[in-house]
Amino acid sequence: MRIFKFGGASVKDAAGIKNVYDVLLKAGYEDVLLVVSAMGKTTNALEIVIKNYFDKSDELKSSVQEIKKYHNQILLDLFEDDKNEVFAAVNTQFLELEYFLIHNKSPNYDFVYDQIVSYGELISTTILSHFMSYMGIKTQWLDVRNFIKTNANYRDAEVDWELTQANISKNVKRKILNVTQGFLGSDENNFTTTLGREGSDYTAAIFAYCINAESVTIWKDVPGVMNADPRYFENASLLNQISYREAIELAFYGATVIHPKTLQPLQKKEIPLYVKSFINPLLPGTSVSKGSTLEPFMPCFIVKREQLLISLSSIDFSFIMEENISEIFGLFHQFKLKVNLIQNSAISFSVCVEDKFGNFKELNSILSKKFKVDFTENVTLYTIRHSDDKAAHTVEEGKTVLLKQVGTETMQIVTKEN
Domain assignment present for residue 293? The answer is no
Whether residue 156 is found in the same domain as residue 46: yes
Specify binding-site residues for substrate: 43, 121
Domain assignment present for residue 198? The answer is yes
CATH of the domain at 367: 3.30.2130.10
Last residue of a domain, one of 194, 213, 232: 213
| Helix (H) or strand (E) segment spanning residue 69 | helix 60-78
Range of the domain at 379: 300-417
CA atoms within 13 A on the CB side of 392: 15
Beta bridge partners of 218: 5, 275
Domain assignment present for residue 280? The answer is no
Whether residue 206 is found in the same domain as residue 306: no
Whether residue 23 is found in the same domain as residue 143: yes
Q: Render each residue's pLDDT in the chain as its tens digit; 418 residues.
A: 999 999 999 999 999 999 999 999 999 999 999 999 999 999 999 999 999 999 999 999 999 999 999 999 999 999 998 889 999 999 999 999 999 999 999 999 999 999 999 999 999 999 999 999 999 999 999 999 999 999 999 999 999 999 999 999 999 999 899 999 999 999 999 999 999 867 899 999 999 999 999 999 999 998 999 999 888 888 899 999 999 988 888 888 887 778 778 999 999 999 999 999 999 999 999 999 987 676 668 999 999 999 999 999 887 777 777 778 889 999 999 999 999 999 987 778 899 999 988 999 999 999 999 889 999 999 999 999 999 999 999 999 999 999 999 998 899 999 998 7
Last residue of a domain, one of 163, 189, 213: 213
CA-to-CA dists, residue 338 to 224, 353, 357, angstroms = 27, 5, 10
Whether residue 307 is found in the same domain as residue 190: no
Whether residue 9 is found in the same domain as residue 155: yes
Whether residue 14 is found in the same domain as residue 132: yes
pTM (2 d.p.): 0.85
Cα separation of 339 and 321, whole Å?
Answer: 18
- DSSP string of 212-273, one letter each residue: T-SEEEEEESSSS-BSS-TTTSTT--B--EEEHHHHHHHHHTT-TTS-TTTHHHHHHTT--E
Domain assignment present for residue 232? The answer is no
Task: Write out 213-230 in H/E/C secondary structure.
Answer: CCEEEEEECCCCCECCCC
Domain assignment present for residue 262? The answer is no
Whether residue 193 is found in the same domain as residue 309: no
Closest CA to 119 of 178, 75, 183: 183
Whether residue 190 is found in the same domain as residue 321: no
Specify binding-site residues for ATP: 5-8, 231
Domain assignment present for residue 175? The answer is yes
Last residue of a domain, one of 181, 213, 245: 213
Quote the number of domains for the chain: 2
Specify binding-site residues: 5-8, 43, 121, 231
Whether residue 7 is found in the same domain as residue 146: yes
Whether residue 61 is found in the same domain as residue 174: yes
Domain assignment present for residue 70? The answer is yes
Packing angle of the helix pair 161-171, 200-211 (nearest 10 deg): 70
The answer to whether residues 43 and 189 touch, using CB atoms and an 8 Å cutoff, is no
Whether residue 197 is found in the same domain as residue 316: no
